[in-house]
Amino acid sequence: MILVRQHGESGPPALLGEWLELRGIPYHVSDSRDNGHVDPRDYEAVASLGCRYSPADADVPQVKSEIELIAKAVEHDVPVLGLCFGGQVLAHVLGGTIGPAPTPEFGWRAIETDEPDSIPTGPWLLWHYQRFTTPPGATEVARTKDATQAFRHGPHLGLQFHPESTTDIVAGWASKDREKLASIGITNGPELIEAPDERKEAARQAAFRLFDAFRGESA
């Protein structure tokens, strides 16, 4: 059973959920805004999704609870797959730093990867204002010119991009962020998400390869 941590309606499991169902893998979606107790030791792995907050917002109850849950998973060697916010929380728990990205990344990107079989070059959707540093003892395995995009630490994998998200989901973020984007000079946010069906399918296949590899390596 996989524990999927969702952090609001606008960040569903999407392609991750599709992959879990296609592979016949049982999973449970838990929202970090709920007050119910969830113990990661009851699961074979934890996948933590995207969120409008960052670990720097530890005064927000749902952020505090996610930091505590991921810390407990790491303490007990429950593999963690961190996706954007989830990757930042994992980096934070492991001693990395989180801060504003000098160049926020939005839309489609290809990444430079040291492990193309398990972490393909993409195409990937990115949508983040913050970035993490590779934690002590971890290994950076993918990057763009503007940020680390993936690191490994034991059975854990932290990502800065969104393999789980679809264009419809990220386009919704772009629409909500219009004013924030305009404040940093970006006026075409929704246009950055547009893509032909071929690119969308390539992203889906890349995501499935990544998820398959993570499960195989963390099993």
pLDDT of residue 185: 87
The percentage of the chain sitting over the pLDDT mark of 70, rounded to a whole number, equals 99
Q: Where are the alpha helices (DSSP H) in 136-196?
A: 167-176, 178-183
Mean pLDDT of the chain: 95
Q: So where are the chain's domains? A: 2-103+112-119+127-166+208-218
Report the SS3 class of residue 201: helix
pLDDT of residue 218: 67
Q: Each residue of 85-103: pLDDT tens digit?
A: 999 999 999 999 999 999 9
List the catalytic residues.
84, 162, 164
Query: Whole-angstrom Cα distance, residue 95 to residue 101?
Result: 18
Count CB neighbours of 48 within 10 A. Answer: 27
β partners of residue 45: 2
| 154, pLDDT greater than 90 | yes
Query: Whole-angstrom Cα distance, residue 133 to residue 148?
Result: 7
pLDDT of residue 181: 87
Report the SS3 class of residue 50: coil
Decide if 100 contacts 176 (C-beta within 8 A).
no
Report the SS3 class of residue 1: coil
pLDDT of residue 219: 59
Distances (CA, A) of 156 to 165, 212, 217: 20, 14, 9
| 62, pLDDT greater than 90 | yes
Query: Whole-angstrom Cα distance, residue 34 to residue 213?
Result: 30
Query: Whole-angstrom Cα distance, residue 57 to residue 55?
Result: 5
* Token pair in block for residue 102: 């000098």
| 190, pLDDT greater than 90 | no
Report the SS3 class of residue 192: helix
> Distance between the two ends of the chain, CA-based, in angstroms?
12
Question: In sequence order, which residues have a C-beta less than 8 Å from that of residue 174 and are 6 or more positions away?
Answer: 106, 127, 181, 189, 190, 192, 193
Determine the average pLDDT of the residues in 129-140: 96
CATH of span 2-103+112-119+127-166+208-218? 3.40.50.880
| 67, pLDDT greater than 80 | yes
| 130, pLDDT greater than 70 | yes
- From 74, 156, 71, 138, select the one nearest 148 (Cα to Cα): 138
Q: Each residue of 36-60: pLDDT tens digit?
A: 789 999 999 999 999 999 999 999 9
